[in-house]
Homo-oligomer: A and B are copies of this chain.
Amino acid sequence: MLNQTMRKLGEERSVIREIFEYGNLRKAQIGAENVFDFSLGNPSVPAPECVQDEAERLLREMPPQLLHGYTSAAGAPEVREKVAEYIRAAFGVPMSGSLVYMTCGAAASLTITLNALCESGDEFAVITPCFPEYKVFIERAGGAVVYVKTDARFHLDEAELRRAVGNKTKAVILNSPNNPTGAVYGAEEIRMLAALLTQKSNEKGEPIYLIVDEPYRELVYGEDVPYVMKYYDHTVVCYSFSKSLSLAGERIGYIAVNPACKGAEELFSAVCGAGRSLGYVCAPSLFQRVCAACLGKSSDLNMYSENRRLLYESLSDMGYECVLPEGAFYLFMKSPETDAKAFCERAKKYELLLVPSDSFGTEGYVRISYCVETRMIERALPAFQKLIKEYRN
Q: Which residues of A contact B (CB under 8 A)?
A: 1-11, 13-14, 17, 20-21, 24, 40, 42-47, 51-52, 55-56, 59, 63-65, 67-73, 104-105, 107-112, 115-119, 133, 136-137, 139-140, 206-207, 246-251, 263, 266-287
* Other-chain residue from B71, B249, B268 in contact with A285 (beta carbon distance below 8 A): B249
A269 to B272, CA, bound (A): 29
Q: Which residues of B contact A59 (CB under 8 A)?
A: 52, 55-56, 59
| CA–CA, A2 and B68, complex, Å | 33
Contact assessment for A249 and B10 in the assembled complex, using a CB-CB cutoff below 8 Å:
no
Complex contact B284–A11 (CB within 8 A): no
A273 pairs with B17, CB closer than 8 A = no
Of the candidates B46, B111, B248, which one forms a contact with A70 in the assembled complex, judged by CB atoms under 8 Å apart?
A: B248
Residues in B with CB closer than 8 Å to A7 are 116, 266, 269-270, 273
- A8: nearest chain-B partner, CB-CB: B273
Tell me the smallest distance from the CB of A309 to a CB of chain B, in Å. Answer: 21
Instruction: Tell me whether A14 and B46 are in contact (CB under 8 A).
Output: no
Query: Which B residues touch A118, using CB under 8 A?
Result: 3
In the complex, chain B residues whose CB is within 8 Å of the CB of A63 = 46
User: A65 to chain B: which residues have CB within 8 Å?
Assistant: 42-47, 246
Complex-state Cα separation, A220 to B285, whole angstroms = 26
Contact B278 A13 (CB under 8 A): no
Closest Cβ–Cβ distance, residue A247 to chain B (whole Å): 5
A2–B116 CB distance below 8 A: yes
Q: Separation in Å of the A139 CB from the closest CB of chain B? A: 8
A-B contacts, 28 of them at CB < 8 A, read A2-B116, A2-B270, A3-B273, A4-B119, A6-B271, A6-B274, A7-B270, A7-B273, A8-B273, A10-B116, A10-B269, A10-B270, A10-B273, A11-B269, A11-B273, A14-B276, A24-B72, A42-B65, A43-B69, A55-B59, A69-B248, A104-B279, A107-B280, A108-B280, A110-B279, A139-B277, A251-B251, A251-B284
Complex contact B64–A276 (CB within 8 A): no
Known: A43-B69, A69-B249, A108-B279. 5 other contacts (CB 8 A): A7-B116, A9-B276, A10-B269, A111-B279, A251-B282
CB distance from A122 to the nearest CB of B (A): 9
Q: Which of B207, B271, B281 is in CB contact (< 8 Å) with A107?
A: B281
Smallest CB–CB gap between A372 and chain B, Å?
A: 10
User: Which chain B residue lies CB-closest to A287?
Assistant: B284
Q: Which of B72, B119, B207 sits near A21, CB closer than 8 Å?
A: B72
Residues of B close to A105: CB separation below 8 A: 279, 281
Q: A266-B2, A276-B9 are in contact. Are A284 and B14 (CB under 8 A)?
A: no
Nearest CB to that of A76 among chain B residues? B249
Min CB gap A62→B, angstroms: 11
- Residue pair A251, B281 in contact (C-beta under 8 Å): yes
CB-based contact B277/A137 at 8 Å? yes
- Interchain CB contact under 8 A, A64 and B40: no
With A64-B51, A267-B2 known as contacts, the answer to whether A280 contacts B249 (CB < 8 A) is no
For A65, A248, A286, the residue with the greatest tally of chain B CB atoms inside 10 Å of its CB is: A65
Residue of B whose beta carbon sits closest to that of A289:
B249
B10 touches A133 (CB 8 A): no
Chain B residues, CB < 8 A from A278:
111, 140, 278-279
Q: Which residues of B contact A263 (CB under 8 A)?
A: 1-2
Asked if residues A272 and B13 are in contact (CB atoms below 8 Å), the reply is yes
Closest Cβ–Cβ distance, residue A303 to chain B (whole Å): 11
